[in-house]
Structure 1
Amino acid sequence: MKTPHSRQNQSFSSRRPVLAVVIIELLLLLAVFAAGAVATVKQLDYTSPVLMSFTPIALVLIIYLTMRRKWGDTGFRSLRAIPASHAKYYIPLLLVLGTLVLKGFTELTPSKVTFFICFTLLVAFVEETIYRGLIFKILLRKSAVAAVVTSSVLFSITHIMNALSGQSMADTMLQLIYALLLGAVLALLMLKNGNIVPLILLHFIHNLIQFLGNDRQDAGTLPYDLFILAVLVVHCVWLMLSARTKSFSSMSSKAGSSVLR
C-alpha cells in the first residue's frame, strides 16, 4: 500500500494522469488557436500559426527533457535498440510514403525545399514528443489500450484546426480519420518497440512529401487516399494482433514457469 508520503514524492502526472493529459492537450490547442488568430488578423502565410506556436513549444520540450533527463524515458533511443525482426512492422508505412509520392510534386525550388524540411522536422518533433512521448507514457501507467486510443484520438482532434483555415468539412473529416488511423499505427509501434525516433523520421518524411506534393484535392487523388486508409487499417489490425499474440505468449511462458516450480 502506498503511504501518503510516497504519493507526495510521485510526480503530478503519476498522481493525476488524466488531468495531466488534459492540461497538455489544452495548452497545445490554446497555443495553436492563439497563433492562428494572430495569423488571421495579420493575414500571414498558412504555415505561420504552426511556426509561431510550435517553435516555443519545441524549445520548452527540449529544456524539459534535458533538465529532467527524460529523453530516454520518452523514447529517444538508438535505432539499434529495435530488434531486427521488428523492422517488418514499419514496412506498411513505407508503402504509404510511396503512395504519396505517386501523387506527384509541385514546382520545387531550393528555398522551398529547405523551408519545408525545417518546418516538417519541427512539426514531427513536437507532435511525436507530445503524443507518442509524453501523453502515451503518462497513460501507459493506466493501460496500453488507454495509451493507444487516447493519444490517437487527441492527435486526430488537434488536426481540426485545419477547418478554421478554410478547408472544406469533407476534407477536414477525411483528414481527421486519416490522422486517427495514422496516430493509432504510430502509437502501436511505440507500444511494440518503445522507440520514438523512427516515428519522428516517418512523420517528418510523410509531412515533407505532402507539403511538397500536389495540393489538389479532386477525384484524381481519391483512389490514392482510399488506398492509404486501407493500408493503415490493415496495419492497425496487424499490430494489434501482434500485440495480443505477444501478451498471450508472455502469459503462457509465465504460467509454464510457475507450473515447473
Structure 2
Amino acid sequence: MNSTSLSKTKIAILAAFIYTAVMGFGMFYMKTFKGIFYGTPDMMNVFWFVMIIVNIINVFFVIRYFSWQEVGFRKLNTRQLLWFIPSLSVLIAMWVVFLSALASASLNAAQWQLLALVGFTTFLVGLGEETMYRGIVLSAFLTTNRVLWAMLVSSIAFSLLHSVNVFGGSAPLEMLVQLVFTFLFGFLFAPLMIKFNNIWPLIIFHWLWDFVLFAANLVDASNVSLLSYINTPVAIVVGTILWIRIHKEQHGVVKPSSMIS
C-alpha cells in the first residue's frame, strides 16, 4: 500500500468505529427484538450472523488498505510463546473445571447443538476482534513509530468495543467493570502481538477463553468464571514487564527479541 502513516491510522479508526457500531446494533437487535440478553448462551443464536458481518468488514479493510501479513498473519516467533505460559495456565484450569462439569452433565440434543454454535460463534469473535484490534488498529498505529502509543490505542479501542454490551442488557456498572477487564486484556495482548509477530496464538486463546466462559453456563460450572479473574493480576504483571521491555528495546537499552513490522 502507498497509504501514508496518517491515512492508515485514520482508516484504522474508521474500521474500528464501524466494527463497534455493527456490534452495537447487533446487541440492540438481540435484546429489543429477540429478548435475549448479553452473556447467555442463547445469544449465539443471533450473534453468529453479526460476527460473520464484522469479519467480512475486517476482510474488506485488510484487502483494501493493509495486507494479511501486515496485520499479523506472518511467521511466528515461537521463542516468545513463553510469555503466554501464565495466562495459559489460567485458561487450562478453566477448561479442567468446565470439562469436569461437562462429563457429569446430561445435555439434550438441543443443548449439544447450542454448545457447537457457541464454539463456532466464539471462534468468529476471537478471529474478528484480534484481527481488528491487534491486527488492523495496532499495525496502523505502529506505522507512526510510537510503539507504546500504538499499544495504548489498541488496548483502549478494544476496551471501548465492549461498551456496546449495555445495548444487550448489561447493567451500566457491569459494563464499566468489563471495560476495565477488557482494557487489561488488551494491555497484555498488544505487546504479546509484537513479541509473537503472529496473530494466531492470540486468536486461538481468545476463542478458547470466550468459549469456555459461555459454555460453562450450559453445564453449571460457575467456578470457571471465578477462575478467569486470576488472569487479571497476570495481565497486569506480565503486561507491565512486556511494556517496559518493549520500551527499552525501542530506545536501544536491550536488544530487540522480535521484529516489529
Pairwise TM-score range, normalised by the shorter structure = 0.7 to 0.9
Cross-structure match for 2:67 = 70
Measure the CA separation in 2 of the matches of 1:26 and 1:40: 21
**TM-fit CA distance, 1:98:** 2.8
Measure the CA separation in 1 of the matches of 2:83 and 2:53: 33
Cross-structure match for 1:259 = none
**TM-fit CA distance, 1:162:** 1.9
Measure the CA separation in 1 of the matches of 2:60 and 2:242: 33
Structural RMSD (CA): 3.1
Whether 1:181 aligns to 2:179 is no
- Give the AA of the match of 2:92: G
**TM-fit CA distance, 1:217:** 11
**TM-fit CA distance, 1:41:** 3.6
- Give the AA of the match of 2:91: L
Pair 1:139–1:165, CA change in 2 (3 A): same
Measure the CA separation in 2 of the matches of 1:243 and 1:70: 24
Measure the CA separation in 1 of the matches of 2:62 and 2:168: 32
Cross-structure match for 1:10 = 2
Measure the CA separation in 2 of the matches of 1:146 and 1:69: 20
Give the number of the structure with larger relative contact order, counting CA–CA contacts within 8 Å between residues 6 or more apart: 2
- CA deviation vs aligned residue, 1:93-131 (integer Å, no higher than 9, x gap): 202313433664575543233211110111111101110
- Give the AA of the match of 1:10: N
**TM-fit CA distance, 1:68:** 6.8
Measure the CA separation in 2 of the matches of 1:67 and 1:223: 42
TM-score normalised by the chain length of structure 2: 0.78
Pair 1:48–1:21, CA change in 2 (3 A): farther
- Count of residues in correspondence between the two structures: 240
- Give the AA of the match of 1:91: I
Are the aligned partners of 2:216 and 2:224 in contact in 1 as well (CA < 8 Å)?
no
Are the aligned partners of 1:29 and 1:158 in contact in 2 as well (CA < 8 Å)?
yes
TM-score normalised by the chain length of structure 1: 0.78
**TM-fit CA distance, 1:222:** 8.1
Are the aligned partners of 1:136 and 1:148 in contact in 2 as well (CA < 8 Å)?
yes
Aligned identity (percent) is: 20
- Give the AA of the match of 1:82: N
**TM-fit CA distance, 1:165:** 2.2
- Equivalences for 1:89-108 in 2 at 5 Å? 89-101=83-95, 104=98, 105=101, 107=105
Larger radius of gyration: 1
- Equivalences for 1:196-235 in 2 at 5 Å? 196-214=199-217, 224-235=227-238
Cross-structure match for 2:17 = 26
Measure the CA separation in 2 of the matches of 1:26 and 1:110: 35
**TM-fit CA distance, 1:225:** 4.9
- CA deviation vs aligned residue, 1:67-112 (integer Å, no higher than 9, x gap): 778111111124xx3143x221111220231343366457554323
Measure the CA separation in 2 of the matches of 1:247 and 1:68: 26
Measure the CA separation in 2 of the matches of 1:152 and 1:175: 13
Q: Which residue of 121, 133, 146 maps to 2:149?
A: 146
- Give the AA of the match of 1:155: F
Unaligned segments of structure 1, at least 5 residues: 1-8, 255-261
Measure the CA separation in 2 of the matches of 1:234 and 1:252: 20
Are the aligned partners of 1:152 and 1:180 in contact in 2 as well (CA < 8 Å)?
yes
Q: Which residue of 123, 126, 129 maps to 1:127?
A: 129
Unaligned segments of structure 2, at least 5 residues: 37-42, 257-261
Measure the CA separation in 2 of the matches of 1:47 and 1:190: 28
**TM-fit CA distance, 1:204:** 0.7
Are the aligned partners of 1:35 and 1:53 in contact in 2 as well (CA < 8 Å)?
yes
Measure the CA separation in 1 of the matches of 2:203 and 2:224: 26
Measure the CA separation in 1 of the matches of 2:65 and 2:250: 32
Measure the CA separation in 1 of the matches of 2:255 and 2:158: 35
Cross-structure match for 2:39 = none
